[in-house]
Amino acid sequence: MAIEIERKFLVKEKWQPQAEGVKIAQGYLSTVPERTVRVRIKGEKGYLTIKGKNEGITRAEFEYEIPVADAEAMLRLAEQPVLSKIRYHEYLGDHLWEIDVFAGANAGLVVAEIELSQAGEDFVRPDWLGQEVSGDVRYYNANLIKMPFSLWKK
């Protein structure tokens, strides 16, 4: 079984992309607490991902590449609205950071994620890294379709 160990952080305004990002359209076929089923078009490829319930920063994850035409059809079946974001990659030390700049109803939200090999693993913290939001369910992509960032009380 594939396991995802991921920490999530807000990104400070001083961050600037170091390379070109990739556009992502992402929708959810299931968002029950026990599992999420996500379909995504990332660049020119389609993906289907099943994730188990979060246990801290760990959960089961299975991801499969699918034909982009299938992903487009599944996005039409997904809960609406479909998330739109641009993902940037930055390497720091031994780790890859994925920085998501959200668009649409979630515009203004910028989140960085790092996947770890174990929960207590050390990693280099870039100076643009803000508050950790790993356990805050508001920042789960599946929840951003239900309560977009633009509707949060500031």
Q: What is the pLDDT of residues 11-46, one digit of tens each?
A: 998 899 989 999 999 999 999 989 999 999 999 999
Question: Rg of the chain's alpha carbons, rounded to an integer?
Answer: 15
Rounded to whole angstroms, how far apart are CA atoms 9 and 43?
A: 24
Q: Nearest Cα to 142, choosing from 54, 58, 69, 79?
A: 79
User: What was the pLDDT predicted at 1?
Assistant: 60
Per the annotation, the verdict on 139 as an active-site residue is no
Check which CATH number belongs to the domain holding 65 and give it: 2.40.320.10
Rounded to whole angstroms, how far apart are CA atoms 27 and 37?
A: 9
pLDDT over 70, % of the chain: 99
Domain of residue 38 covers 3-151
b/e 50-69 (16+ beta carbons within 10 angstroms → b): bbbebeebebebeeeebeee
Task: Look up residue 47 and give its DSSP letter.
Answer: E
Mean of all residue pLDDT scores within the chain = 94
Domain count within the chain: 1
Q: Which of 28, 47, 64, 88 is catalytic?
A: 28
Distance of CA 38 to the CA centre of its chain: 11
Given a contact cutoff of 8 angstroms between Cβ atoms, the answer to whether 49 and 37 are in contact is yes
User: What was the pLDDT predicted at 137?
Assistant: 92
Instruction: Name the pTM for this structure.
Output: 0.93
